[in-house]
Structure formats: C-alpha cells, structure tokens
C-alpha cells in the first residue's frame, strides 16, 4: 500500500524527467539516498524504488525528452 508520503516523493522525482528518474533508481539500488528520500526509513526508500521501477517499466528503453 502506497501512502501519501511515498506518492508525493515518487511524483517529485518523476517531475524531474526520465533520465533523472533512471539516475535516482540507480542510486537507490546502491542503497544511497536521493534528496526526495532524505529522512525516509529503509522500508520507505524501498517502496519508492519499487514504485519508480514499476513506472519506468512502462517506458522500456525509450525516454521522452
């Protein structure tokens, strides 16, 4: 279940564009923190990562610029 905090974080990251989302996914996969997830628990960061991956899976290898 996604809460408002997670939803707002994911939306903020996505608003920065496709390549930025991919960069943030890579950082989160390495266990790093991006500005939007600062102060999040490990579980919340993991939820953000899952949501971002699910969203980007729709786009495949293509990104709109």
Q: Mean pLDDT of residues grouped by 10 in the chain (65 residues)?
A: 85 94 96 95 96 90 64
**Residue 23 is part of which domain span?**
4-57
Is 46 part of a structural domain of the chain? yes
Is 36 part of a structural domain of the chain? yes
* CB-CB contact of 47 with 2 (8 Å): yes
CA 35 vs. chain centroid, Å, equals 11
Is 26 part of a structural domain of the chain? yes
Is 18 part of a structural domain of the chain? yes
Is 9 part of a structural domain of the chain? yes
Confidence (pLDDT) at 1: 47
Confidence (pLDDT) at 58: 87
Confidence (pLDDT) at 64: 59
Is 43 part of a structural domain of the chain? yes
pTM of the model: 0.87
Confidence (pLDDT) at 3: 86
How many domains, in total, are found in the chain?
A: 1
Is 62 part of a structural domain of the chain? no
Is 12 part of a structural domain of the chain? yes
């Amino acid at each position: 279940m996604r809460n408002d905090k997670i939803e707002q974080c994911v939306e903020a990251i996505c608003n920065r564009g496709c390549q930025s989302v991919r960069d943030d996914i890579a950082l989160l996969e390495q266990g790093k923190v991006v500005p939007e997830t600062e102060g999040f628990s490990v579980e919340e960061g993991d939820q953000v990562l899952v949501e971002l991956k699910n969203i980007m899976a729709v786009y495949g290898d293509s990104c709109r610029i």
